[in-house]
């Protein structure tokens, strides 16, 4: 029997979500505003899975449709991110305990990074302990070869994946220089990695009072090789990561 809860599951790139879509039983497709929403069940749990497209506007609009039209109860966003600190390596996983917009700046009208009216800099996210532990177990060195092909484990050096609970920064920018990273490290020192959708999803979920989880896998170091590094990661392993992350979430 299926649970009544509906999970909205989204990613910004087809490479990140196609594997999850292929897990869906009895898939039903619905097109809205250029997105294809696929409903069905995974492990007897109701899901609606969608490729949101890149950036804050695309993510916010997709999140709103998941909540308003599909009536989802929880949202999970999985995808890739650039590391801001040297203690994170390609393949490590960051489960957001908060999200912030790094490109939001309406000074002198308000403090940098603070969302007007809501008056929030960080959207705090609750990370379920049991799900976190499932992720740690799934990506443990003893288990990683069950989810990632041995060849890609070697190519991307994925033997010792860390799963951490840290802050994630979002902006409509691909971060690819030490200068941009320095600005983030100085002004948002708690931020572990950078991407282009998480805080937008978190803001909409905050406004609708819906729980959400943002889970990011490090694909690059947000430096001058980031553009070259992130594509092969997205192409060859991001999908397997998303499948493993969603499977851990929806396991009993
Ligand atoms: N997603 C993956 N890598 C990224 C980067 N360096 N900047 C922004 N978003 C990303």
Cα dihedral sign, 132-138-141-142: positive
C-alpha 227 to ligand 1 mean position (Å):
8
User: What pLDDT score does 252 carry?
Assistant: 81
Mean pLDDT, all residues of the chain: 95
Q: What is the CATH number of the domain that holds 49?
A: 3.40.50.1580
The minimum-distance atom of ligand 1 relative to the CA of 196 is: 9
The pLDDT of residue 246 is above 50: yes
Protein residues with CB under 6 Å of any ligand 1 atom: 80-82, 174-176, 194-196, 219-220, 222, 226, 230
What was the pLDDT predicted at 15?
Answer: 87
Domain membership of residue 195 (yes or no) is yes
Beta carbons within 10 angstroms of residue 111's beta carbon = 11
Condensed to tens digits (0 to 9), the pLDDT of residues 181-221 reads 999 999 999 999 999 999 999 999 999 999 999 999 999 99
Q: For 84-99, what is each residue's pLDDT tens digit?
A: 999 999 999 999 999 9
- Mutate-to-test residue for ligand 1 from 55, 56, 214, 226, highest number of ligand atoms within 8 A of CB: 226
Domain encompassing residue 69: 6-250
Q: With helix as H, strand as E and coil as C, how does the chain read?
A: CCCCCEEEEEECCHHHHHHHHCCCEEEEEEEECCEEEEEEEECCEEEEEEECCCCHHHHHHHHHHHHHCCCCCEEEEEEEEEECCCCCCCCCEEEEEEEEECCCCCCCCCCCCCECCCCECCEECCCCHHHHHHHHHHCCCCCHHHCCCHHHHHHHCCCCCCEEEEEEEECCCCCCCHHHHHHHHHHCCCEEEEECCHHHHHHHHHHHCCCEEEEEEEEECCCCCHHHHHHHHHHHCHHHHHHHHHHHHHCC
Q: What is the pLDDT of residue 156?
A: 93
Q: What confidence tier does 174 reach under pLDDT thresholds 50, 70, 90?
A: very high
pLDDT tens by residue, 59-80: 999 999 999 999 999 999 999 9
186 part of a folded domain = yes
Determine the average pLDDT of the residues in 36-59. Answer: 97
pLDDT band at 3, cuts 50/70/90?
A: low
- Note the pLDDT of residue 62: 98
Q: Which residues pair with 8 in a beta bridge?
A: 48, 75
213 within some domain? yes
First to last CA, the chain: 13
CA–centroid distance, 85 to ligand 1, in Å, is 13
Domain total in the chain: 1
Whether 1 maps to a domain, the answer reads no
Tokens 């819906």 sit on residue: 210
Q: Measure 40 CA to ligand 1 centroid, in angstroms.
A: 30
Evaluate if residue 1 carries a pLDDT over 60.
no
Q: From the CA of 233, how far away is ligand 1's center (Å)?
A: 12
**8 A C-beta contact, residue 37 and residue 70:** yes
- Which of 54, 58, 222, 223 is the best mutation target for the ligand 1 pocket, counting ligand atoms within 8 Å of the beta carbon and taking the most? 222
Cβ(234)–Cβ(9) under 8 Å?
A: no
Per-residue pLDDT of 141-161, as tens digits, reads: 999 999 999 999 999 999 899
d(CA 252, CA 137): 14
């Amino acid at each position: 029997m299926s649970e009544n809860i509906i999970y909205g599951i989204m990613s910004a790139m087809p490479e990140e979500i196609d594997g999850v879509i292929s897990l869906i039983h009895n898939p039903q497709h619905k097109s809205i505003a250029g997105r294809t929403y696929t409903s069905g069940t995974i492990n007897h749990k109701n899901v609606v899975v969608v490729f949101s497209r890149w950036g804050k506007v695309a993510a916010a609009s997709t999140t709103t449709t998941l909540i308003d039209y599909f009536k989802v109860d929880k949202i999970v966003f999985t995808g890739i991110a650039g590391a801001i600190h040297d203690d994170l390596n390609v393949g490590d996983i960051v489960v957001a305990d908060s999200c912030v917009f790094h490109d939001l700046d309406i000074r002198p009208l308000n403090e940098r990074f603070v969302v007007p009216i809501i008056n929030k800099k960080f959207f705090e996210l609750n990370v379920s302990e049991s799900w976190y532990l499932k992720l740690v177990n799934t990506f443990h060195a003893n288990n990683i070869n069950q989810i990632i092909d041995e060849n890609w484990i070697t190519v991307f050096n994925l033997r010792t994946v860390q799963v951490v609970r840290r802050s994630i920064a979002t902006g409509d920018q691909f971060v690819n220089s030490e200068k941009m990273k320095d600005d983030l490290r100085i002004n948002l020192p708690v931020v572990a990695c950078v991407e282009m959708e998480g805080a937008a999803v978190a803001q909409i979920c905050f406004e609708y009072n819906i729980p959400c989880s943002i889970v990011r896998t490090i694909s690059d170091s947000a430096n001058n090789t980031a553009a070259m590094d992130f594509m092969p990661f997205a192409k060859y392993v991001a999908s397997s990561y998303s499948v493993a992350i969603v499977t851990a979430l929806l396991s009993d």
